[in-house]
Chains A and B, each alone.
Chain A
Amino acid sequence: MVACRAIGILSRFSAFRILRSRGYICRNFTGSSALLTRTHINYGVKGDVAVVRINSPNSKVNTLSKELHSEFSEVMNEIWASDQIRSAVLISSKPGCFIAGADINMLAACKTLQEVTQLSQEAQRIVEKLEKSTKPIVAAINGSCLGGGLEVGVPAALDMMLTGRSIRADRAKKMGLVDQLVEPLGPGLKPPEERTIEYLEEVAITFAKGLADKKISPKRDKGLVEKLTAYAMTIPFVRQQVYKKVEEKVRKQTKGLYPAPLKIIDVVKTGIEQGSDAGYLCESQKFGELVMTKESKALMGLYHGQVLCKKNKFGAPQKDVKHLAILGAGLMGAGIAQVSVDKGLKTILKDATLTALDRGQQQVFKGLNDKVKKKALTSFERDSIFSNLTGQLDYQGFEKADMVIEAVFEDLSLKHRVLKEVEAVIPDHCIFASNTSALPISEIAAVSKRPEKVIGMHYFSPVDKMQLLEIITTEKTSKDTSASAVAVGLKQGKVIIVVKDGPGFYTTRCLAPMMSEVIRILQEGVDPKKLDSLTTSFGFPVGAATLVDEVGVDVAKHVAEDLGKVFGERFGGGNPELLTQMVSKGFLGRKSGKGFYIYQEGVKRKDLNSDMDSILASLKLPPKSEVSSDEDIQFRLVTRFVNEAVMCLQEGILATPAEGDIGAVFGLGFPPCLGGPFRFVDLYGAQKIVDRLKKYEAAYGKQFTPCQLLADHANSPNKKFYQ
């Protein structure tokens, strides 16, 4: 998403005003005269102020589309031509959204670089005209204003352009992006959102009038720091240093995998060094180049996938879940509790011991308190949210629960015991969800009196940061149960994929063969640090060895054993003995302070755990030189992952490739620039992947045998996962 948004934001050193506001009451506006109806934009005139309202039809957000562009320039030309109009206000009719950025569909529809460049130039022309407008223009922004939307009047801040991060309104004011803030209104004579927009418009109109009458000056007072910075930037040497520094930082952060940020720097550089015309030209060309890249296609694909996975395809459940109970106050249980209470769900957190319960409650509190420190919550809101949580050791109150999520230890007999205990106390309509990463849900449901109410909800750790939720349905799970689980997940702010039951479901199953390969690579003598750098430079956010430490060596061992039993040779490769030995020595990863690395509280630097040397030495395998280049190592990992993902689609575990891509990227950190395993096959080419697999198959055997579906795609180049 990062790059996607960032490309829309271009360097502009404009000086007009924008407001994020909502309302002042000016009573007597003279009647609006011209009211032409267009589809995206309509405008009316109040007194001598033109009010331009942006409202893309049939969409929750306004995006910069071709139609909007043309209507906008039409309207603006009328405004500039009119003698009656002395100033203008730009405002969105949609609550919570000004302009979200360029229309992704419009960009995706472009076949050539020239088309995109042309689009970009058209947009530039409008913005340039806005900048040079002789009549004051006030942008009244309510809610998200990103990408091209922001260009409508913002002296670009470099940091924001590069990361595409969102800024809160009060910060925007401090940064000088906006001139005035308007606070949201509460209920009055109309719904609050509606009245707030009206109010915003009213305030904006008074400002526009004030600007036109020269009662308000559009100049902002610059602070000392700002003045100094501005001065420093006039010295070429300083500028060069700044470019260098920024470029270095960007290269480090993106590892050269995302082309957009570097191009943005180029554009800014051109703009400053060679003047704005050259800057605009450079901008539109680079923008065109970027839209045509594979990365752009991959990221746009992810965007569409994410939109899809934010919908409940089962429809609305019969009964809303209002009371939630969570069993097990461990890392997962407490994490699930945190994302539930802050959405207003009354949540019971139950554990067997007071110590574990207390730790879990502390975790929830800390999660909320961190938001207070970042000023995302007030301490009062934190307390009030925290009051939604009840910690307890018994089953009191479970008779009111609408859903129970168990997050106890991954042990089938324990899960069975818990299920039976819970079913004795919960009401008939209550859903039993199991948060397991590998145990088949149908096996857990085997002891249930009502298997139609049993479902899997696989969260990812840390729950408050990881967006994915994998929901697992069995043959017997009812549609309403699924609808409820998805509804709860959406409420918790998750991106959701729904998969069929099976060992390891989708995500764990894809990860397992890759992990097996990780072990083999380590056994072949590749240093964990080197392995980490190979994986991160391929685009994974976390290195493979670090990932094992983060997940927990014991968990990895558990999964490897369980899935190894079911899938046999295909999941082989590395020797699971490595994990067994690590567990027996207490090297459980981050949680025990030692794994492949050593972890110390407060120490950021990671040192290798030298005690691992003897273990690795005892299990050493001779590397095969024909498949051990850096690139081969990367591809051995990725192709096993991709092959298993495609197999999941082939077997019907996955319903759609889109869900597979979202699951892999949001849950397992599959490189976003590649768009997910299925998009990767489409963009990289199935044939090339199959060739790779066959090469490794020759060296290692069946673990690398391409699955049928992948082979089919390789055989007929027209076959694509995304048409």
Chain B
Amino acid sequence: MTILTYPFKNLPTASKWALRFSIRPLSCSSQLRAAPAVQTKTKKTLAKPNIRNVVVVDGVRTPFLLSGTSYKDLMPHDLARAALTGLLHRTSVPKEVVDYIIFGTVIQEVKTSNVAREAALGAGFSDKTPAHTVTMACISANQAMTTGVGLIASGQCDVIVAGGVELMSDVPIRHSRKMRKLMLDLNKAKSMGQRLSLISKFRFNFLAPELPAVSEFSTSETMGHSADRLAAAFAVSRLEQDEYALRSHSLAKKAQDEGLLSDVVPFKVPVTKDNGIRPSSLEQMAKLKPAFIKPYGTVTAANSSFLTDGASAMLIMAEEKALAMGYKPKAYLRDFMYVSQDPKDQLLLGPTYATPKVLEKAGLTMNDIDAFEFHEAFSGQILANFKAMDSDWFAENYMGRKTKVGLPPLEKFNNWGGSLSLGHPFGATGCRLVMAAANRLRKEGGQYGLVAACAAGGQGHAMIVEAYPK
């Protein structure tokens, strides 16, 4: 969840920067290249007695684009519709078998506040299929998926479409409260005299617009600022952050070039792939000034995720239904966990808290996980989470654990890039994480994937994805 953090005035700088680097040739640092560890382990499955198995049949997403580029004239439901039609096309699922549609979104377009319903109708789903929209900051799509899991597990539904959408190219900018009040009062005024007396109250400053909040409501701190303080608290250096960002971009570029990002469905020619992947050099990155804590902070435009437009959608079914319909599912959705903590000083530590809990719940250890897919809000945030997970002191003093959580091995971590490079449309990232984990398990081999993300409000999410037996 990153963009919320960018003060609007920073946008031009960030995009200029992006342009400058998008024309640079790829420089893939070899030492960071992950060695694909193909394993053919057979471990226990996480099926639970008396609970229906929930499977992901498949999932797709539109290309994730820097906001203000090709999607800039769309509305959010247009993007969501593109993801839905892409899903219909990819899975050939008959529209009428879909029981329910759930979408996540963060910054809401006021005209389409239930964007799930508008997109579903436009994508040609049955008008008899109900749809609702959820919001939980950067884990909104995760919430859409787990809501679907709940509906299937409890026997309410068999087939669910879950997804998410975010269009940061356009955000609701409102009239000021004073102006709104004046306009609403004018609506109610009955006589010309009343209207005139109301109009006489108008002041020029009423016209000052109100931008969507870029800071955490409870603490008034922007997320980038909080990430910078978090990085400082865990003594994460600028260089470490730049190195990690470079890794993300390099791996994303490689995955894109090798055609591994199979969840991407073209929007329309020429928009066929993500456009935020911009591998650069450490020297170039080192030149950037800090974006939030000036002049000595460490979080910059280059080591943060950028404002992104994009949508994702996933077909989730009860296992027996999928098999009956002749599908070969990609993965099981297993145990999941939501956590929350102090929104000031631990805003972005959700993965650290959620990971051990979901592993314990599933009866797994860190070693059992073959593919880690963590949401990368900021390099500093990922690295701070690493340091927190690797610290006995932190585990004892803040998590009530006797020993540290343990570090996810980097060679299994976000091997196809992450939010820093692929982009992060708030409401849509959750589905991308799950599909990346499922696709990686199929490609690289392995049984379990772990998805984790942090979100505004100091919340976090983690889920176990189990590969469907081939």
Q: Hey, which bits of chain A sit against chain B, CB under 8 A?
A: 21-27, 180, 182-183, 185-190, 192, 195, 199, 203, 206-207, 378, 380
Contact = CB atoms under 8 A, between A and B. Distances in A.
Interface centre among B217, B232, B234 (most CB of A within 10 A): B232
B235 interface: yes
Nearest to A185: B233
B344 A25 contact: no
Quick one: which of A23, A206, A207 has the most chain B CB within 10 A?
A23
Interface in B261-295: 293, 295
A197 to B, nearest CB: 12
B129 interface: no
B342 interface: yes
Main SS class of interface, A = loop
B8 interface: no
A480 B393 CA distance: 35
B387 interface: yes
Interface of B: 217-220, 225, 229-239, 293, 295-298, 342, 344-346, 384, 387-388, 391, 393-394, 397-398
Given A25-B298, A27-B239, A188 B234 contact: yes
B218 A23 contact: no
A24 B290 CA distance: 12
Contacts of A195: 232-233, 235
Given A23-B296, A25-B298, A180-B295, 8 more contacts: A27-B239, A186-B233, A187-B233, A187-B346, A188-B230, A195-B232, A203-B296, A206-B296
Contacts of A203: 296
B232 A187 contact: no
Instruction: Name the residue among B233, B295, B346, B391 with the largest chain A CB count within 10 angstroms.
Output: B233
A183 B237 contact: no
- Interface pairs A-B: 6 shortest CB-CB: A186-B345, A188-B233, A185-B233, A188-B234, A25-B237, A24-B296
A207 B397 CA distance: 33
Contact of A183 (B217, B229, B298, B387): B229
A316 B229 CA distance: 36
B233 A25 contact: no
Contact of A186 (B220, B230, B236, B239): B230
Contacts of A199: 232-233
19 contacts: A22-B232, A25-B231, A25-B232, A25-B235, A27-B239, A180-B296, A182-B296, A183-B229, A185-B229, A186-B342, A187-B233, A187-B394, A188-B234, A188-B235, A189-B387, A206-B296, A378-B220, A380-B217, A380-B220
Nearest to B226: A186
Nearest to B230: A186
Contact of B393 (A189, A192, A207): A189
Contacts, number: 74
Contact of B219 (A21, A207, A380): A380
Contact of B344 (A27, A182, A186): A186
A187 B398 contact: yes
A25 B238 contact: yes
A188 B387 CA distance: 8
A189 B391 contact: yes
B457 to A, nearest CB: 12
Contacts of B231: 25
A23 B297 CA distance: 9
A183 B224 CA distance: 13
Contacts of A180: 295-296
Contacts of B237: 25-27
Nearest to B346: A186
Contacts of A27: 237, 239
A265 B383 CA distance: 54
A180 B296 CA distance: 10
B218 A187 contact: no
A180 B391 CA distance: 31
B343 to A, nearest CB: 10
Contacts of B219: 378, 380
B298 A24 contact: yes
A425 B298 CA distance: 57
Contacts of A23: 232, 296
A188 B238 CA distance: 16
A182 B387 CA distance: 22
A189 B384 CA distance: 10
A196 to B, nearest CB: 8
B213 to A, nearest CB: 12
A26 B295 CA distance: 14
Nearest to A203: B296
Nearest to A198: B235
A25 B236 contact: yes
B229 A189 contact: no
Nearest to A26: B237
A424 to B, nearest CB: 39
A394 B111 CA distance: 47
A26 to B, nearest CB: 8
Contacts of B229: 183, 185-186
A192 B232 contact: no
Contacts of B394: 187-189
Contacts of B293: 183
A170 to B, nearest CB: 12
A189 B235 contact: yes
Nearest to B345: A186
Nearest to A216: B295
A60 to B, nearest CB: 23
Contacts of A26: 237
A25 B235 CA distance: 6
Nearest to A381: B218
A407 B341 CA distance: 38
A207 B393 CA distance: 31
Contacts of A182: 296
Contacts of B295: 180
Contacts of B230: 186, 188
Nearest to B238: A25
Contacts of B297: 24
A192 B345 contact: yes
A496 B391 CA distance: 43
A180 B298 CA distance: 16
B218 A24 contact: no
B234 A189 contact: yes
Contacts of A183: 225, 229, 293
Contacts of B239: 27
Name which of A188, A189, A195, A203 has the most chain B CB atoms within 10 A of its CB.
Answer: A188
A578 to B, nearest CB: 52
A380 B298 contact: no
Contacts of B296: 21, 23-24, 180, 182, 203, 206-207
Contacts of A187: 233, 345-346, 394, 397-398
Contacts of B384: 188
Contacts of B387: 188-189
Contacts of B344: 186
Contacts of A186: 229-230, 233, 342, 344-346
Nearest to A21: B296
B389 to A, nearest CB: 12
